[in-house]
Amino acid sequence: MSELEKQLLSISLNWTPYIHPIFEAVDPFLENYYLGAGVITQSVWNYLHGYPPSYGIGDADIIYFDEKGTLDEEQKLEERLNKRLGDLPFSIDVTNEALVHFWYEEKFGKSISPYTSAEAAIDTWPTTASAVGVKRGRAGEFSIYAPFGLEDLFAMVVRPNKRLITEDVYRKKAEKWKARWPDLTITPW
């Protein structure tokens, strides 16, 4: 495990009081999933900015991949987890990445091919700093999937991942994040 991975886990698991309870709540329902994107990225930015752990976090993304799953099952799991974790200062967003292609075009105006894994979905997340997923194994060990590494995350550099998002989506995200975390460096499209 690299030093940045160790630092990410230390911030997420020791400094942030929300990550362990999320894993505890999700484990009975899913075996192979990631906690990722905003709750991980923004926890690191909060730590680096000296902000409270929950500052600016809108939700915690739980992603998994189940080709036999249904959107109804996904929604019921999200409702269960939000009820169980109702004392968190943000909501839980659950996504079965095997089903994203069914609704993506309606939501974002662009059709996509089906993902082949949860990791393939993370590969398309909007920025190199936010394309991060943390997984807890059955024995309690943690692993990190970060296809672009963790350097941009810890350098507080927001760089577009152009695999899926548009320039407009990137600019809006970058502007929103810069307003909340002013030490971020936003790279142009």
Does 184 map to a domain? Answer: no
Does 169 map to a domain? Answer: no
Does 14 map to a domain? Answer: yes
φ, ψ at 181 (rounded to 5°): -125, 85
Provide the β-strand partners of residue 34.
63
Does 122 map to a domain? Answer: yes
Look up residue 9 and give its two tokens.
């886990």
Domain residue limits at 41: 3-156
Look up residue 15 and give its two tokens.
């400094």
Does 79 map to a domain? Answer: yes
Q: For residue 109, what pLDDT is reported?
A: 83
Q: For residue 73, what pLDDT is reported?
A: 97
Q: For residue 105, what pLDDT is reported?
A: 85
Q: For residue 93, what pLDDT is reported?
A: 97
Query: CA 161, CA 188: separation in Å to the nearest integer?
Result: 11
CATH of the domain at 25: 3.30.460
170: left (phi > 0), else alpha (psi -120 to 50), else beta?
alpha
Does 99 map to a domain? Answer: yes
| Number of structural domains found in the chain | 1
Query: What pTM does this model have?
Result: 0.94
Q: For residue 20, what pLDDT is reported?
A: 94
Q: Give every residue of the chain whose pLDDT is below 70, as ranges.
A: none
Q: For residue 53, what pLDDT is reported?
A: 95
Buried (b) or exposed (e) across 173-186, using 16+ Cβ within 10 A? bbeebeeebeebeb
Does 112 map to a domain? Answer: yes
